[in-house]
Structure formats: C-alpha cells, structure tokens
Structure 1
Amino acid sequence: MATDLSKIRNIGIIAHIDAGKTTVTERMLFASGAKHRAGEVDRGTTTTDDDAEEAERGITIYSACVAFPWKVASNPGMPLKQVDVNLIDTPGHVDFTAEVERSLRVLDGAVIVFSAREGVEAQSETVWRQADKYHVPRIAFINKLDREGANFDTLIEEIRDRLGANPVALQIPIGLGPAHVANPFRGVIDLIRMKALTFPEGKEGRKIVEEAIPAEFADDAALWRDELLEKLYNYSNELMELALGGEPIPEPLIHKVIREATVHQQIQPILCGSALHGIGVQPLLDGVAAYLPSPLEMPPVEGVDPTHKAHGKSKKAKEGETELPKIKRKPDPKEPFCGLVFKILPYKTGDLSWVRIYSGTLEGNSRVLNPGKDLKENVAQLWRIHASKKDEQLTSATAGDIVGVIGLRESVTGDTLCDTREPILLESIEFPQTVISMAIEPESTADKKKLSETLDMLRKQDPTFTASENEETGQTLISGMGELHLEVIQHRLQRDFKLNVKVHNPRVSYRETIRTAAEAEGECRRLINGVQHTGKVLVKVEPAPNAAEVVVRAAPSHGLPGEYLAVVMEELENAAQGGGAFGFPLMWLKVTLLGGEVHETESSDIAFRTAANLAFDAAVREAGTVLLEPIMKLEISTPDEHVGDLVSDLQQRRAIINHTQSRGHLTVLHAEAPLANLFGYSSAMRSLSQGRASCSMTPSTYAAAPDEVLKRFL
C-alpha cells in the first residue's frame, strides 16, 4: 500500500540543554500510545537517551529517531485526523551541536522547546540560527510553566527580540508557577477555539478536559485572541475581509492561514505547557499535524549533475570556472531515487547508516550510486529506526522516509545516494571545526592497532571528532568541540571498546593568519637526474578577515598556459592547507597568482610546483604571522549575590564582559573569553556560586593571541 506523503511529518525536537526536549519526546510517545509508560530523564528510563553515558549524565548526547502515529486529540476542528510522525530528539549541549546540524539538514519541520524559567538561552539562539540556515519551518513550545520564576509574556518578547522571530501565540497558560503559589499553572487556553484545556490525570494519563475559560482569564484571553487574528490578517485577504465585515471567522480558515504562514516561515506558532506533568503535549502534537509541513510541501530537493565535465575540480574559487548544471527532484515515489546519509552507527553486522529519502523508492537488496565518490554501494537491508536501534526490517522505503541502511561500506555522513542511471549530487552537510585537542595513548602497545581502528570508526560516526598522529612526536591527537565531547569519547573507549587509555592535557586548536599584504617570487632552477627543470611564479598574499577559509585565485593577467596554471593552483591550495610558521592551519587569507615565467624547453610540472611553494612560503614570511586563538561566547546565569565573584574570576581569565541582563531573580552575564583560559571553568563557576550558577559556551570567533601566548611557540 502506497504511503500518503501528506500525512508524514519529519520533525526534530531542538533546544538549549535542560529545556526539556527529551521529556517532551517521552510524553509524545506516551500520549500517542507508542509507550505504555513515559520514561523519566532523572531515572535514565527514556526511550531516546538509551546510551549508558546519556542515562548517567541525564543529558542527550546522540540524536535518536522514533516513529509513531498520532490521532488528533484536543481539537476536532483541525484539518487532519491522523499523521505518521518521524521524530528526531537532538542534544542541547553545544559540544554535540553536530547532531542538531545533521538532523536539521534532513528534516521538514522542528519543534523548538524553551524553558519558561530560563528563557531564550545561548544554545537556543544557535539552534534557531541552524534552523534558519536550512529554512526549516518551526513551532515553539514554552515548557516548564509550572516552575518558580516562569514568565510567559517575557519569553514571547525574548523570542521576538533576541531571535528576530515572529511568534504568534495560539495558547496562553492558566496560572504560572508551582502548586504552592497563589495561582499555579494548571492548564492552557486555546485562543482559536476560546476554550480552557486541563489535564486532570497529569503525567499518568492522556485525558483532556475542555471547559469554559475561567472568568479571571477571560479578558486576557480576548486580548491575546485579538492579537493573534491581527497578525494573521497580514497573511490572508479572506480573513481580513471577514473581520472588516464583522462576520464570524470560521475555525478551519484560521488553521489554514496559520499552516500556510508557518510552512513559508513567516510566523512561528507558540504553544505551551509542562511536559513533565503531562500538560499541553497532546495540543502540541495536534499543532505538529496541523501546522508543520509534509514532505510534499517542501520545495524539490536541488543538486548538481555529477557527470558534467567540471566535476572533480577544487571547491576553492577559480576565476572563470562554470558551475555544474542544477537538477531538481520532487518528493515523489515515481521520481528517480535520491537520498542523503546523515548519521552512521556501528553494528557487528555492518554499520547502520541513517538515510533521508528525498525522491523515488529505495529497495532492500539493491545497488545505488554514491556520486560524490563515484562508486556503487550495496543496500543489503532496510530498517525502521527506533531510538538508535533497528526496529523493523523493510522491503522498500519511499520519498519522505527516514530509514536505516545496512550494507554501505564507503559512504559517510553528508554523502548522496542515488539511482545508478540518474545521478544527482546533493549539497553535503557542513560541520563546525574542532576547537580543542588532547593526546591519547593506549596503556599497552598491544592495544595500539585496536585504538587506531576504533578511532577511525568513531571519526566516521562523528564528523566533529578527528584523530591524527603527530609525525614528529608519534602521539595520537584527538580533537572535538569541547571538554565534555572528548570526555564522552574517552569513556566510550573504556566502556564500549574495553580500551584502557591515558590522556594528556587538552590543547587549544590555534590558527594562523598574516599581518599585512605581501608579494613574493619563487624560482626553480634544478638539475634532477640530468634534466634541467625551470619555472618562476609570482604570488600575492593578503588578509581576508571575512573569508571562511583560504581563498586561492588567479589574476586575469597571470599569463600561464593551462597545463601549468592547474599545477600552480593545486600546489598553492596544498601549501595554504599545510599550515603557517607555527604549524597551525591558516585562515582569513587570500592568495592570488599574479604571474609566472615559462622557459621554452626547461619548464615542467615539478619546476612550477616547487616555484609555487617557494613563492607562497616567502610571501607568508614577508607578510608576518599572527597567531589566532579561539574565543568562546559565554552566557552565565547566576543569583545576584554571586555576580561579583564570577566577574572577578572572568577578568582573570582574560574575559570581556559585553553586557548583563536581569532575568527574573537571576543575573545573566554575556561575555567572551579565550578557550585556553576556560579549561575547568564549569567546576570553578559552581564553586564560586555554591552550585547555583549555570553556564553555556559556544564557539564565537578567532582573535589575535597576546604576546604571552605567542612566546610559548617561539
């Protein structure tokens, strides 16, 4: 039986750490009937946090996928009665931001969870920007309205101001705060139907009671409904005309306008509740069904034709290079198959690759093409995924599905899979660069080979983890997104792979750039095996602060023939990637080939490669080296009485405090500090605040390191 794509919802749950993502996921599974009892994060009994490290720490580390059907519960007027939800629960900690990045790349919609107590936090901004980057429609769920200090109105303003969003409240809370306050949170008001919804069985049940709005909330509800409709008038002439004519506005029309505006990312509907106490989860699922898009409503996926003759050229800009022809594929089972690998998990029977299918049909026991690597792969088995495990074997899967594939050998995260007869290459997934490294070695030489193989496997699974051997020292260096990231890797090696390892102090991933523009000439005149090799290259280097990487280009008047131009450009790119004076990777650099001289009989590839290297090295030396250190953005929430101690400590760490803000009974410090000075900061912060402060760090930028740091490398 063919899948009805209009009834599929591929969604992600994303948020700052501790906003309640995993609890929301658990309540969704319970409310849908997919689980008979909701798990709890504090007890380590949740479905999606099934890794031992996650259960122990009470945080999500790895994204997990669950599928369940949902029948609309709280609102009979909604357009769809049932949908099939593929849900990915993602981590909130910045060290595991790659899990969010790869999930948003393949999802059609997202639910962003905010804590009503903490408000919009640093990682909330990060995941919102990631959703913007991939043009993901989203709805927001304001959670934890039962907590002390919860503030619904302020959070709506923060979403608007800090995120540049257009929040539209579809619900408001009945009361705020825990049970012991005068007017505790006990339900929500549906502003579309103007009904109060309560959940008398709490977290143990699924019952919803619909009743009239309590008298003390009637005026507020009327004001919020007027604001809702006024915002929607901007997106529907029909709605506006009915309002101007004083006619009643039909509920299906309101749902239709909200849906269209949400799918086109013009608004973000706001729902609210307390997932821990089972309040507001069913209406949230109704909102997922009613307002987030199906695969059919997403634009056709766009890729390039990998068979075009330009394929295989460097990604770095070369002037005059033509772009590859674009190809589009509709989300239709009858289109040629294409999909994207976005996660890999190890299995004894072979790696389980998570694949989002964008078009066509994928059969088990078939062959597909990996156009990026120009090789064919076997699809031995297809599986429905539940959490991070195989759940049900499938014979085939179609457009809109997210499935596990066993049999792929060479394909990694970000690779395209497609029909062998209809190649298409989709845009890959970009991940942030690592910011911290540490040396690791096995306790016994017998484990050296096993450690190397295990690190290779972990690197394949986690695109933000790297492992490399230092040729000079023989040390193995592992790099990641933060201390917690590398700590989790270390624990996995010991727990899952029974490898006893020793680790050394973390190292910062410095970068280098140049101080000023410079030109230099490189000339090769060498006699090799009795043959004279001659070539000359002129190169200019200059700072490029806005460039994401090293940009290599050729000036229009370079004058080199095509065969030597390609060789010189390739060598300049390799030289730029090889590192600067201190051996760290170069960035914020523009390299221009100005010209060269060709000898009539003695020029060769070897001569021009050598000349290009000499010219580049000389130009970089002439320009002067600037050592760059990674800067972290910090957001620290603390009770007022500890602000002074924390500020003093931050100043000793070379931090710059940009501004402070009051958030209820807390003060929030916004600061930037070098990563090298933040090792162990979490422990120090807890000690200074008696355990009452919390902190989030996100990579911000690179900045010139001061002389005392530079002296360590001289």
Structure 2
Amino acid sequence: MGRRTYASESAEALRRNIGISAHIDSGKTTLTERILFYTGRINAIHEVRGKDGVGAKMDSMELEREKGITIQSAATYCRWKESDINIIDTPGHVDFTIEVERALRVLDGAVLVLCSVGGVQSQSITVDRQMRRYNVPRLCFVNKCDRAGANPWKVLAQARDKLKLNAAAVQIPIGLEDEHEGVVDLVRMQSVVFSGENGQTLTVGEIPANLKELADEKRKVLIECVSEVDEELGDLFLMGEEPTTEQLLAAIRRATIANTFSPLFMGSAYKNRGVQLLLDGVVDYLPAPSEVQNVALDLKNEEAPVVLSNDPSKPLVSLAFKLEEGKFGQLTYLRVYQGQIDKGMTIVNTSTGKKLKVPRLVRMHSDDMEDVNSAPNGDIVALFGVECKSGDTFTDGSVNYAMTSMKVPDPVMSLAVSPKSKAESGNFSKALQRFQKEDPTFRVHMDEESGQTIISGMGELHLDIYVERMRREYKVDCEVGQPRVNYREAITKRAEFDYLHKKQSGGQGQYGKVVGYIEPLENTTEVIFENGIIGNAIAPSFIQAVEKGFKEAALNGGLVGYPVEGIKIVLTDGASHAVDSSELAFKLAALAAFRQSFHNASPKLLEPIMKVDITVPSEFQGTVIGNINRRKGTINDSTAEGDDVIISSMVPLSQMFGYSTELRSMTQGKGEFTMEYGSHQAVTQDVQAELISTLGKVKN
C-alpha cells in the first residue's frame, strides 16, 4: 500500500470522522483546542476554566465552563494537510453516556486519551467498552507527559492488561515531566522536538544517542505486535527482513482499521507537544468513510440488512444523530452515509414519511457555523428548520431505509418537577419538549393520579443538569420532589385466565370471553402475545383488540402499578357474540383477565441494580467497602492501582442517593465513582412488602 500519495486520492478517501473520548479530566477538550489551533481554525489557545474568561472553544455552554466538564458533545470541522477532519468532543461523565453513544454511532475512528499519571481509569474502561460495541478503531494518546510522575510505559501496560488492547508505542518520549520536549517517531526513526510559543516549530533530526538503544528495542516490539495480526508484515517478520517505513505504515494502517491493533502516541496537549504528530496519525492510520462498512435496514423488505455504497451518485441515506435548539430554531446534526445532500433538495424522513426541503446546510464549529451547498457521503453537517427526532433516517425518497438504531438505555431515576409560578408554565413545557427531543434518555410523563410532571434520566447529575438548564436557558425555577426509582414487575409462575366480559343495558350490549394463560419468560424483558386458538372461537378481527388489551394491562402491574416485563400471554380459547361482541368488549375482557391471572402468578417487584466502580486511595478501602455493604451492595472485585484501589460493585439504585457527598466526606474528597445501569433484579420479600405499602400509598 505504501505511503499515502495525496494527489491521487479523492476528497472522500481523505476525510476522517473522529471522536475524542476519555476519563474525566484526561485533557480531551484541551487536546481539541490544540488541534483547532494547529489546523488554523482558531487564532489563539484558551484553557478549560481559563483565567482569561474565554474558556475552551468546544465547551460552549456556560454551565460547561463553570463546572469544567463537557456535558454535550460538540462538533467541529478542520483541515490538516490534505484531509478534512470532522471532530466530536464527547463528555466523560457516565450520566451523559448517550452523548458518547451518539458520537460513536456516526464516527469511523476515535482517539482514546489516557493520562500519563492516572493511566487507565474507570471511565476509560466504559468508553473503551462503548467503542467495542460499535467496532470503532482507535488511536491511544498518552497525554500530560509533562506532569510530575508521568509514566507512559505504565499506561501502555494498563492498556494491554485492563483494556485488552493489542497496543504498542509508535513513539518514545524525549524527556518526561519538566524535561519533556518532544518524541522519537519509531516508524520513520527520527526525533521531533517542539519549540516556539505554542509548539508550532517542529525540528526533525537524528535520534539522540542516549535513546538509540531504547528506540531500536521499542521498534522491534511495535513490529512484533503488528506482525501478529497482519499477514503481510508477519511474512516479512518470519523471514527476518526489516520492513521499510512504507511497509510498516501500511501494515499499522491495515491492522488499526481492522481493529486488531491500537497505535499509542505520546505528548502533552497543555504544553503543545505531540499534537501535530497525532493529527498525522489520524490521517495515516484511521479509516476513511469508504473503508468502513455501513448497514441500513430496508423497511420495504422486512428490515433486511442492506450494505450502503460509497458511490456519491447512489440514493441519499443519512442519519439525524443529535438535536440542539439553536438561535435560529432546531439544529439537526446529520451524518451522510450514502449519496449526497444538497441545499434546496427534497428529503424524506423514513420514520414519519414526511417530505421536506433542505433550507440551509451548515458545517459546525462548536457554536459557530459555516454555510455549505452540499455534503457528500461520509460527511457530517447540520440542518436548520427540520422537525425530527434524534435517530431518524433521511433519504431522497427513492429508497425506504432506516439506519440501525442506537442503544438507548432505559432511564433509572425519576424526579417530580413543577414550575414555582404559573406564569412560567409555558416555558416549562417548552423546555421539557426540547430536552426530550435532544436526549433520548431523558423522558417526561404526567402521573395521572397525582397530576405531577415526572422527569426520568440516567442519574442524579443528569437530572440536576436539566433542572439547572431550565433555570438558566428558560428562566424557570422548579420545585423538585424526592428522587424516585423506576421499579418493574414480573411473574414467577404460570397462571390461567378465563374471563367473560358481559354488559347489557338496553340496545347493543358488550360480550367478549378470553381463555388462556400467562407465564414468565427467561432472559428477556419483552411482553409477548401468542394466539393459540385453533378455529374461530374469537373472530380474527377481534384478536388484535385482545392483544392490545393485554399489552396495555402489562404497562401497569398489579402490585404497585409499574410496567410488567418478561411475560408471555397465550390465548387458547374464547367466545364471541354475533351482535354484542366488539373490539372494545374484547379489549376490556383482556384487561380484566390480565389482572385476574397476574395475582395468581406469584408476582414480584424488580429494582434497578447499578454497576458502581469506585476509585479511592487504598487507606480508605475498608471504610468504602463497609459503606457499600450497608447500602446492600455486592462487591465483585477490588484491584490495587498504584496508591489507589478500584472497587467494582453492584448496588441497588435506591441506595445510591446522596452517595457522591458521602464518598467525598469518607475519603477527604479524594474518592470518585462512576455508575451505570446493570439490570433489574427481584427485591427480597420483606423489602417487597415494605415497598408495596409505601409505594401503594404514593400511587393512591
């Protein structure tokens, strides 16, 4: 394959869609700021929580600058040498996991940033798991090599052990901590030293004599790691031949795109070292859109998978992966997978069938934008004035495809919210509507019995941020109720039903009889209805009404009224009346039959169990484990990591309220934790009785 000859390659082959992901405080946003500076997109560098009051370009929300964290993934576009690069800077906090999921869904490659002091941390593992789910090839960048205690070789060992990556260094550092001034490129075997006020002067030269032996040794390790997964380089290696620079570059590229190898770069974004070489690595090793296979589902052919083409003359297929409320209305981020989108063309939303004209097409640069006339396959752009939901597919109307859906986790926590004054209720509704469209993990519903508005999300921080955004962006002060856990209900044994719904009050009556059974299903949360009637005891036209009645009944279980999951409903017999039977009669019969059999099926209450990873200095290990046990948690594992201990546990969500404050006080502010949904599991009998008594009162 050889070194890339840019002149002969198409614009599409030179495009890169990349994400920058990492644990909190590993330097993602700082790295993106440097990338924008070196590619000429910004004229000056600003810092996260900067003293100059400007803040990093990609943290455009006031709340992000204040807290020093990234909440929404920001998109930008830049050009490096001959390549167009779309970059999405993603949040590191697990409460905003949908932002990471959405970014990875539409990206072709990623940069995993690791701290040279902190190494592979709990959130690095979560982000790596998400990259694997979408099969995203990645480069690793060991940042903060200028920090005291920096040890990139320890980080490389952790990437191999903890993340199970086939990783090897493509660089070695020239000096560490306050002596860090550049790197040795192991592929081209040359040194690169960064100087000048912003590190823009690169001096390429011979490898320093004191590093020559280490460079030879690490280059051998690099060749061995790539040879294990690349046949061409493996053949050269077995014959004992030394690969040329071009052969090694090509082999690393093939292995990275195949997701069997991860090259590891080094540097310090804050001190402006190593970022330009990382950009070279993005172009050299990460795939172009044409090198990634994308699959759509053909809605006209029972959702049969269709491999999309890289030919721009083919019909348009694109995915709306993120929505934002901009100054000029809804802003819809779109990834073009096939064909080309042009300003003024007519596109069709395949989930609603609605046609619309593309009014304005822009490239995003965080919260700034540039108008463009068209975008070919592989590009990421944004549209204005388009009504749609996150995850909708747009085509040119000649095909009816849907892109495979993103994994959207169910919300696990709820709060009751209401505006403090009636005058704010209009803005309150507007804010909730917008947030639901933007974020599929944020749900809103009205509790019919209490009349309260309930918001649900992925955790305390997630919901707190939305309440705070309502106050800042919509000037709505909210009354916030106690957090509530989203329980589920299930059955543990089979139960029969035989129910006749009969009503006669002059004129046409109601008549519908249903007979059958319900039984629990293992390893699924679905509600499945099966028509087992042989013959026409119930007219086929009424079967749909029976199914509708049962599925509606399953939305409110008989214990406390939470949705029922993992249940199969089988209809075996029934009876209908020539005059009095109707769809309504059979729906009501099914509703009542479900309630009748549910109580005989030994129902149980299920609660969400969270996977909680806690990182604390080892001196606090005993205190933290004792606290998790008191919270009815189960310790799965604890591993020593230098002076720290990482404790992995499963804890009921109901026991996790206020944990962040308690962890801080237990560990003198040194502990941190990440929490994500694991599964719903049955509560014990005594807890069930207590919950039925307390939740029953709340529901009534």
Whether contact under 8 Å (1:149, 1:664) holds in the other structure is: no
Letter in 2 for 1:192: V
1:133 paired to 2:121: no
Q: Deviation at 1:440?
A: 1.1
Identify the residue that residue 14 of structure 2 maps to in structure 1.
Answer: 7
* Structure 1 residue 25, shift from structure 2 partner: 0.8
Instruction: Output aligned runs, 1:173-252, within 5 Å.
Output: 173-176=173-176, 178-179=177-178, 185-201=180-196, 204-252=198-246
Residue 97 of structure 1 corresponds to: 97
Which of 275, 281, 290 pairs up with 1:281? 275
Q: Is the 8 A contact 1:516 1:623 kept in 2?
A: yes
Equivalent in the alignment of 1:534: 511
Identity score, percent: 38
Instruction: Tell me: CA distance 1:364–1:711, structure 2 relative to 1, closer, same or farther (3 Å).
Output: same
Give the counterpart of 2:470 among 478, 493, 497: 493
Tell me how far apart the structure 2 counterparts of residues 133 and 662 of structure 1 sit (CA, whole Å). 27
Please give the alpha-carbon distance, in whole angstroms, between the structure 2 residues aligned to 1:486 and 1:393: 34
Tell me the amino acid that sits aligned with residue 383 of structure 1: V
- Cα contact 2:512–2:577 (8 A) shared by 1: no
- How does the TM-score come out when normalised to structure 2? 0.91
Q: Are 2:230 and 2:254, in contact at CA under 8 Å, matched by a contact in 1?
A: no
| C-alpha separation in 1, matches of 2:628 and 2:77 | 45
> What amino acid is the match of 2:353?
D
Given candidates 299, 310, 314, the residue that maps to 1:331 is 310
User: Residue 354 of structure 1: CA displacement?
Assistant: 0.7
What CA distance in whole angstroms lies between the structure 2 residues aligned with 1:628 and 1:334? 52
- In the alignment, which residue of structure 2 is the partner of 1:430? 407
CA offset digits 1:436-492 (Å, max 9, x no partner): 111111111222233112211121111111122211111111111111111111111
Q: Does 1:53 align with 2:53?
A: no
2:156 corresponding residue in structure 1: 156
Are the counterparts in 1 of residues 530 and 569 from structure 2 also a CA contact under 8 Å? yes
Structure 1 pair 346–666 and aligned structure 2 pair: CA distance change class (3 A): same
Distance 1:578 1:365 in 2: 47
Deviation at 1:660, TM superposition (A): 1.7
Matched residue, 2:640: 662
Paired with 2:660 and 2:390, the residues of 1 have a C-alpha distance of: 32
Shift in Å at residue 611 of structure 1? Answer: 2.6
Question: Could you list the per-position Cα deviations for residues 299-347 of structure 1 after superposition, in whole angstroms to 9, with x for gaps in the alignment?
Answer: 14322134x5xxxxxxxxxxxxxx3344443132211111111111113
Q: When the two structures are aligned, how many residues end up with a matched partner? A: 678
Q: Tell me whether 1:554 sits opposite 2:533 in the alignment.
A: no
Distance 1:518 1:123, change over 3 A: farther
Shift of 1:238: 3.5
What SS is found at the alignment partner of 1:156? helix
Q: Which residue of 2 is the match for residue 146 of structure 1?
A: 146
Partner of 1:702: 680
Q: CA deviation at 1:684?
A: 1.5
- Residue 696 of structure 2 corresponds to none
Rounded to whole Å, the distance in 2 between the matches of 1:701 and 1:101 is: 19
Q: Partner letter of residue 287 of structure 2?
A: P
Which residue in 1 is equivalent to 2:4? none
Contact 1:509 1:630 in 2 (8 A): yes
Whole-Å Cα distance in 2 between the matches of residues 529 and 112 of structure 1?
73
- Would the alpha carbon gap of residues 451 and 300 (structure 1) be closer, same or farther in structure 2, given more than 3 Å must change? closer
1:667–1:246 Cα change, 3 Å: closer
Structure 2 matches for 1:315-330, cutoff 5 A? Answer: 323-330=302-309
* 1:155 Cα deviation after fit: 2.9
Which amino acid counterpart does residue 139 of structure 2 have in structure 1?
A: I
Q: Within 2, Cα distance between the matches of 1:111 and 1:275?
A: 13
Show CA shifts across 1:476-517 (max 9, x none): 111111111111111111111111222122222222222333
Deviations, residues 248-268 of structure 1 (Å, cap 9, x unaligned): 311111111111121122222
> 3-state SS of the aligned residue for 2:49?
helix
Write the distance in 1 (CA, Å) between the matches of 2:558 and 2:58. Answer: 44
> Using a 3 Å threshold, how does the CA distance of structure 1 residues 676 and 237 change in structure 2: closer, same or farther?
closer
Contact 1:522 1:613 in 2 (8 A): no
**What is the DSSP-based 3-state SS (H/G/I as helix, E as strand, rest coil) of the residue aligned with 2:60?**
coil
CA distance in structure 1 between the partners assigned to 2:330 and 2:282 by the alignment: 32
Report the TM-score, using the length of structure 1 for normalisation. Answer: 0.90
Alpha-carbon shift at residue 529 of structure 1 (Å): 5.5
- 1:292 alignment counterpart: 286
Q: Which moved more, 1:571-580 or 1:392-401?
A: 571-580
Q: Which runs of 5+ in 1 are unaligned?
A: 72-81, 309-322
Structure 1 CA distance for aligned equivalents of residues 367 and 490 of structure 2: 42
User: 1:644/1:188 Cα in 2 relative to 1: closer, same or farther (>3 Å)?
Assistant: same
Give the distance between the partners of 2:34 and 2:505, measured in 1 at CA: 73
Gaps of 5+ in 2: 1-8, 694-700
Summarize the Cα distance change of 1:164–1:586 in structure 2 as closer, same or farther, 3 Å threshold: farther
Q: Letter of the aligned partner of 2:386 in structure 1?
A: L
Counterpart position of 2:434: 457
Query: What is aligned with 1:76?
Result: none
Query: Alignment partner of 1:471: what SS?
Result: coil
| Amino acid corresponding to residue 42 of structure 1 in structure 2 | R
Partner of residue 345, structure 2:
366
Q: Describe how 1:508-657 pairs up with structure 2 within 5 A.
A: 508-527=485-504, 530-547=507-524, 549-554=525-530, 562-587=540-565, 589-599=566-576, 601=578, 603-657=581-635
Q: 1:514 to 1:174 in 2, by over 3 A?
A: farther
How many angstroms apart in 2 are the aligned matches of 1:145 and 1:540? 65
Look up the equivalent residue of 1:286 and give its one-letter code.
D
User: Given the superposition, is the C-alpha separation of residues 513 and 149 from structure 1 closer, same or farther in structure 2, using an over 3 Å criterion?
Assistant: farther
Task: Give 1:237 deviation, angstroms.
Answer: 4.0
1:18 aligns with 2:12: no
Offset of residue 35 of structure 1:
1.9
**Match of residue 329 from structure 2:** 350
Report the alpha carbon displacement of residue 57 of structure 1 after superposing the two structures with TM: 0.3
Residue 654 of structure 2 aligns to a residue whose secondary structure is helix
Say whether 1:417 aligns with 2:424. Answer: no
Tell me: CA distance 1:529–1:689, structure 2 relative to 1, closer, same or farther (3 Å). same
Q: Is the 8 A contact 1:377 1:407 kept in 2?
A: no
Instruction: Out of 141-150 and 469-478, give the one that drifted further.
Output: 141-150
Is residue 505 from structure 1 mapped to residue 515 from structure 2 by the alignment? Answer: no
Does structure 2 conserve the Cα–Cα contact (< 8 Å) formed by 1:94 and 1:698? yes
CA contact (8 A) 2:94 2:676 kept: yes
Deviation of 1:366 (Å): 3.1
Quote the offset at 1:559 in angstroms.
Answer: 5.0
| CA offset digits 1:163-190 (Å, max 9, x no partner) | 33322332233454x33xxxx5443332
User: Shift in Å at residue 580 of structure 1?
Assistant: 4.5
The residue number in structure 2 matching 1:120 is 120
